[in-house]
Amino acid sequence: MAKPVKAFVCSACGSVFPKWAGRCEACAAWNTLEERTTAPALPGGLKPQANAAGRRIEFVGLAGISPPPPRVPTTIAEFDRVLGGGLVAASVVLVGGDPGIGKSTLLLQAGAALGLAGRLVVYISGEESVDQIRLRAGRLGLTGAPMEVAAATQLGDILASLGQFPDAALVVIDSIQTMWTEGVDSAPGSVTQVRAAAFELIRAAKTQGFALMLVGHVTKEGNLAGPRVLEHMVDVVLHFEGDRGHQFRILRGVKNRFGATDEIGVFEMTGGGLAQVANPSALFLAERRGNVSGSAVFAGLEGSRPVLVEIQVLLAPNPGGAPRRSVIGWDSGRLSMLLAVLETRCGLKLSQNDVYLNVAGGLRVGEPAADLAVAAALISAASDVPTDPSMVFFGEVGLSGEVRQVAQAELRLKEAAKLGFAQAAGPKRVAGGAARMAVPGTLKLLEIGHLTDLVAVATAGVKRALQSKERG
């Protein structure tokens, strides 16, 4: 009889190695290799069985139209927006976020909303007891919502119990890292247990037809804990972002097989739970002061939603030592590139200053269209003259200082006009598409072809400020 085979599995990424090592060669993590004993392989490999011939696969052509999958709205508009219109039957949604950010609160509110709409909702928690869930529901005012709640971690018991709910519309598992099965010889939360538990739950969702929501933990870097294969197994991956000390929460779609990705839903954490923010631009700009230098309004785009946020920059003299670059909500590497372009192409001396950049409101901006707004804030901070409070900025900046076109410029302009802005600074319109861009009648478009044009506008503002001081 063949002996069992010993192998070493990385608990961080799931890679398998024949020998132990202090560092995983796949993910570079230290002290993560754990010994596993696997069953021996059959001699000569797997052999085909005589009575187990494979079925022929049916192939079809590309022609034809399939109707879109039916949706089940949760009645929470911001949540449905990120999902693509609502939940899809037999779909699997993975929600990740930092501890205490509000994942359980959001899913409890979504489940309660579905229950009040007449749908059967099953909520299973592996981290909290039933009494704790009831206390949270009482704080949120959801005690009257019809839901089936249980506290369990053993996967076999959960799968056997789900059979008594054939009409369930939604099943919530909080969290997948606490689930375990006796068929896997490893500790709960390990790569093997998470993968096996997720596979069995996903198979049950596809078989019974209910929508499945899994709560996932995140690592220190903000990535979903466990193997990356978990993200490939599910249909939708949502990240719940935000600072625990800030009231805003951003639900961001990272993957969606039934809708667009990069959509966001904005929520505000209140004493009664998560409240929807229908107009995030107005909320992000509510505390803005337009008479302060180093501030510029960026007309951004998150998925299909235009969002206006304030970019804040502070320059502090640093005559000796290496200057500091502190960035919150934007790419620090892109800030370094923009500082080099402003100093090399426009003659601004910024290398002897500490630079602090912040995106107000807790939103993280990832698109290159924020380059022009950041440049405007830097120029304003360097000249100590505020930007025009009625102007928004958008545009990508190249290494030669040119301002390039960005996507969905019309949506950005419409959002700016809706919030009462009178001017917008953006890239020059070129023939072939951008020339046909419709500009709202109440908005004046200032076309910027190069960063030197932006510096010239700021210089004119400095002259006007000096003239007003002399007259005063």
The residue type at 200: E
Are β-strands 236-241 and 248-256 bridged in parallel, bridged antiparallel, or unpaired? antiparallel
Q: Is the pLDDT of residue 103 over 60?
A: yes
Angle made by CA atoms 294, 311, 76, in degrees to the nearest 5: 155
280 or 124: which carries more pLDDT confidence?
124
Residue 71 has pLDDT above 60, yes or no: yes
| pLDDT band at residue 189 using 50, 70 and 90 as cut-offs | confident
State pLDDT tens for residues 249-288: 999 999 999 988 878 999 998 888 999 998 889 888 888 8
pLDDT at 53 over 60: no
* Upper half-sphere CA count for residue 238 (Cβ side, 13 Å): 28
* pLDDT tens profile 317-340: 988 788 999 999 999 999 999 999
Is the pLDDT reported for residue 74 higher than 60?
A: yes
Residue 227: per-residue pLDDT: 54
Going across the sheet that includes 305-317, the strands are 325-328, 353-359, 305-317, 295-302, 391-393, 423-427, 444-448
Calculate mean pLDDT across residues 162-175.
94
Give the Cβ contact number of residue 106 at 10 Å.
25
Both tokens of 266, joined, read 């904005």
Distance of alpha carbon 178 from alpha carbon 190, whole angstroms: 10
Go through the chain and tell me how many residues it has: 472
CA distance 21 to 44: 30
**Which has more confidence, 53 or 453?**
453
Helix (H, G, I), strand (E, B) or coil at 27: coil
pLDDT band at 359; cut points 50, 70, 90: very high
| Residue among 214, 211, 114 nearest 170 (CA) | 211
Residue with tokens 């890292």: 177
pLDDT of res. 42: 45
Distance separating alpha carbons of residues 348 and 344, to the nearest angstrom: 8
Model confidence at 408: pLDDT above 80: yes
Q: Give the residue with greater pLDDT, 97 vs 234.
A: 234
DSSP state of 167: T
Q: Pick the range with the lowest mean pLDDT from 25-29, 76-80, 233-237.
A: 25-29
Report pTM.
Answer: 0.77
- d(CA 309, CA 330) in angstroms, rounded, equals 12
Mean per-residue pLDDT of the chain: 87
pLDDT for position 221: 63
The pLDDT value recorded for residue 45 is 45
Residue 465 — very low, low, confident or very high, per pLDDT cuts 50/70/90? Answer: low
- Where is pLDDT greater, at 223 or 174? 174
